[in-house]
Amino acid sequence: MSIIQKVRKQLSSLFPPIKRFLAWWRYDDQERLRNKVIEIWIRSAQEELLRAHHLLNDIANKPYYEVDVPQNTIDWVVRSIAHYEALKRPTLPLDRRLALRLGMQAPALRRRLLWLLSGFAFAVITTFILGLFTDFPLFHWFPIAILTGLFFYIVCLYTGYKLFPFIRSLTADHTACEHLFHAYLSQIFQQANALLHSRNLKKVPQINTALHAISYQKLQRGSVQESTNNTVTKESKPVPDFKSQSQTLNHHYYPMKQAWERFLTEVLHLKDVSTVSPIHHDSGQTEVFIWDIPSVAFTRWEENITRIEAYLKKPVFFIHRDYDGIGTVGVEIAKQPLPKEIHFQNVINLHAVAQMPESVIVGVNSKGMVTWNYRKIPHGIVAGTTGAGKSTALYSIILQLQRQNHLPMFIDLKGGVSFGFVEDAGYPIATTKEAALELVKSAAQEVERREQLLKEWGVSPDIAVYNEMTGANLPELFVVFDEFAQFTDKWQGLEEGMSCLKAIAAKGRSNGVHLLIATQRPSQESLGSTDFRSNISFRCIGRMDSQTSSQIALGNGAAFERLPSTDYAGLFIVRGTDAPTDSLIKVPFINDMDFRRLFLEYRNPHEGYKVGRNIGYLASQQEVPRNYNDIF
């Protein structure tokens, strides 16, 4: 063995640590770097949107004749809000400012320190060379500082531009972008959009000018697209005779014209469809056909949704009343059908969901995510026949509520088959009717107790305001029924249990106590009185076996007529969400084992909370109420 081989053998144990050190020094973990880049990008988008909101707020607090904001600034604000309203995705220009921000923040601290030291060395060498050949002062602090800062700026800018592919890959995934929008930007956008269309700002001439400019641009784009469609149609068809030319001049081409004409003739029984043509708008994922037919009532369009889908071979997204003026009907058609299957982990990020304390993602429709805001719509029902995916929809909602630090309480009258394991994570569960009655009674007592607390503190009827004002940590409670029909079967405690549930349904919204009911076959007996059902406004209804069940669950036959008789798993019709009423959605799929694993990863943060009898718990977390008028 040679001397070199002996030395190499002796030093071989040092090679792995040296390699790890070099890897640690040179490279950041790609996943961590990607998350940091996205975090900085989202934060920048938040700041841009907040800036627009603050500017609108300042304008709203001034008389309209005192607004001195430049028109180009107001145009930027209105364009930004209109862009978010159309896309519902984070947007931020990938410019030099963002590149510098990424270069300054995204890479590791050790690398930025190395850049700074290299810049200082480069500046010293440069000043030394200049001093040798010119009268430039040697090692003067001012030029060294200037050159160091310039070098550091150039390196940070170059590195920031190299990180743009992370953002471009994310923006290519529309579903992930919409999820980030709902998690971080939707609340700010809704406030800014409401402020932009408020009564005070409508009086400001600069804002009216910007809004009219955007409306004109949309109209111009629509006209260009319509003329393009006409040109393509004329070029593709053979030269017609004189009669055909006169008909072409009188009637514009629009997509699916033959299918629409058959529908108008055979279903709406119009005699001369050649005199009727819609205005067509392309909205991206959907397209809108605006009809102005005074002889056809709006209810006839609603009643024939299934017929429209059958003739056009495409799903109806929504039918708008008075879409472009009184009497007009906007039939919005989805361009593509919903996906066959979507998986929970591809749609819902539980870490991001934790930042959405007021809503949960229910599913996906033709335009993106569909969310349920349980602060506005407090109670819900999930229903569907066997194989519809009722349990999957319920699992998805429960996991999101758990990660948002709320307190679900389970009633599983099938002996705990579905939710018996939740007790291992510290969550209450009732598996018998007697235990379910006790749990429902304690929830009703909690409503009364919280109502009294809000009165004593004199705060608005909102538990979130109470928590913020007092520093308390009263959780949002969700009474989850796995099969509600078994609880409403005739038994000794049914009357008392239903009276408690009616009290929760009537007064639970402001007190943070919610009902989430799951049932397989809704009926008048299983859902109680009409008053009780009217308070459960969020509906997520899958395939129903009969017209009667659909009528009870939704108030119409859509769950029986619109949903297919086969391959209906995961398809639901929702009401009480941010999507239009009775929208068709696809809920994310998650199996029982994955649900159990994810649920048990997170222990109940309110394990010591005694529902309905929790005076001692509250006394340790909040001050004694006092009269704040004494301060003044």
Percent of the chain exceeding pLDDT 70 equals 85
DSSP string, 265-304: HHTS--S-GGG---EEEE-SSEEEEEE--TTS-HHHHHHT
Distance, in Å, from the CA atom of 573 to the CA atom of 583, rounded to the nearest integer, reads: 5
Lowest mean pLDDT among 179-183, 447-451, 621-625: 621-625
Q: How far apart are CA 217 and CA 86, in angstroms?
A: 14
Q: CA-to-CA distance for 556 and 548, rounded, in angstroms?
A: 9
Distance separating alpha carbons of residues 130 and 151, to the nearest angstrom: 17
Q: For 559-600, how does the pLDDT look when each residue is reduced to its tens digit (9 = 90+)?
A: 888 888 888 889 999 999 988 888 899 999 999 999 999 999
Residue range 591-618: mean pLDDT, rounded: 80
Confidence of residue 240 (pLDDT cuts 50, 70, 90): very low
Give tens-digit pLDDT for 337-389: 888 888 998 888 888 888 887 899 999 998 888 999 998 999 999 999 888 88
Pairwise CA distance, residues 458 & 52, whole Å: 34
The candidate with the shortest Cα–Cα distance to 568, out of 366, 389, 313, 361, is 389
The total of other beta-carbon atoms located within 10 Å of residue 302's CB is: 15
> For position 617, what pLDDT does the model report?
37
Q: Which amino acid type is present at position 608?
A: G
Q: Is the Cα torsion angle 516, 518, 522, 524 positive or negative in sign?
A: negative
Provide the 8-state DSSP code for 184.
Answer: I
What is the distance between the alpha carbons of residues 7 and 3, in angstroms, rounded to a whole number? 6
pLDDT at 333 over 70: yes
pLDDT digits (tens, 9 = 90+) for 315-329: 999 999 998 888 899
Please tell me the predicted confidence (pLDDT) of residue 235. Answer: 46
| Relative orientation angle of helices 71-87 and 205-236, to the nearest 10 degrees | 50
Residue 95, pLDDT above cutoff 90 = no
Q: Do the beta carbons of residue 426 and residue 407 sit within 8 Å?
A: no
User: Predicted confidence band at 398 (pLDDT cuts at 50, 70, 90)?
Assistant: very high
Residue type for position 134 = T
Q: What's the pLDDT band for 227 if we cut at 50, 70, 90?
A: low
Q: What is the pTM of this model?
A: 0.60
In the sheet that 316-321 helps form, which strands lie side by side, from edge to edge?
279-282, 286-291, 329-334, 316-321
- Range with the lowest mean pLDDT among 135-139, 497-501, 626-630? 626-630
**Could you give the 3-state DSSP secondary structure of residue 397?**
helix
Through-space distance between the first and last CA atoms of the chain, rounded to whole angstroms: 92
d(CA 448, CA 511): 9
